Chains A and B, each alone.
Chain A
Amino acid sequence: MTGRIELPDLQRLLDQGAQLVEVLPEQEYAEEHLPDAINIPLKRLDADAAAQLDRSRPVIVYCWDGL
């Protein structure tokens, strides 16, 4: 089940080694993104794209405002 988190938990999980994924389109990622986030746009999120993620570590996804 997905955990919905806010900023304090985000920072705690990142400190513990979680992976951060921005799911916005490539151009928006290029303009500005959170430190060390990788970009996997939602429209391209499939098994191949997800293969770059480490399954043994938590994954945090984010977009602009959760909508």
Chain B
Amino acid sequence: MSPRAACRLEALGFEAVYDYVPGKVDWLAHGLVTEGEKAGELRAGDIVRDDVVRAGLHERMGDVRGRVEASPYGFAFVVSDAGCLLGRLRKAALQGAHDATAEDVMEPGPATIRFDTPLRSLVERLRARDLQTAVVTTPEGTLIGVVARDEAESALAG
């Protein structure tokens, strides 16, 4: 729709016309401020926690395990040098061989949500799948953190 609008404006004589092609969905997914009737709706970005443990692809489980034990979570995420989410290390993997690398034992491509995912629908999805957390990334795949189901439920209860 916006490409046609840009063409129409050019046809009307406007000389400096730009098309923000990724659109509103991209703006929302980056957790940026909006205006309007739904602007105050509770979303994942409102309660996301960034205190999850991150590990590099070549880190050994013996080195990651201690950080996870000191964290509020029983899992960790594997990220690239640029912070892009590559995989998840579940508890069983963390308790495995001391010398295994994150790349060896990670679960690749975990499901993710964006900043703008409405909390209400997120809680419904987590309940339906009996999950306790959801993983939040930017549209480019950079790991932001996790949303805990119990915290989402508390936020919705107000």
Residues of A within 8 A of B (CB): 1-7, 9-10, 13, 18, 21-24, 29-37, 40, 42, 45-47, 50, 53, 55, 57-67
Q: Which residues of B contact A34 (CB under 8 A)?
A: 24, 27, 32, 34-35
Q: Which residues of A contact B18 (CB under 8 A)?
A: 2-5, 9-10, 13, 18, 58-61
CA distance A54 to B32 in the complex (A): 26
Contact A67 B1 (CB under 8 A): yes
Q: A7-B26, A35-B33, A66-B23 are in contact. List 20 more A-B contacts (CB 8 A).
A: A2-B6, A2-B10, A4-B19, A7-B20, A9-B18, A10-B18, A23-B1, A31-B36, A32-B24, A32-B36, A32-B38, A33-B36, A37-B35, A57-B16, A60-B18, A62-B20, A62-B24, A63-B5, A66-B20, A66-B22
B147 to chain A, nearest CB (A): 20
Residues of B within 8 A of A (CB): 1-10, 12-28, 30, 32-39
Q: Which residues of A contact B34 (CB under 8 A)?
A: 32-35
Q: Which residues of B contact A64 (CB under 8 A)?
A: 1, 23-25
Contact A61 B20 (CB under 8 A): yes
In order of increasing CB-CB distance, the 7 nearest A-B pairs are A66-B21, A63-B1, A58-B16, A62-B20, A32-B36, A23-B5, A2-B6
From the candidates B5, B13, B15, B39, name the one contacting A42 in the complex (CB within 8 A): B5
Q: Which residues of A contact B37 (CB under 8 A)?
A: 30-32
Q: Given that A23-B5, A42-B4 are contacting pairs, would A60 and B20 also be in contact in the complex, using a CB cutoff of 8 Å? A: yes
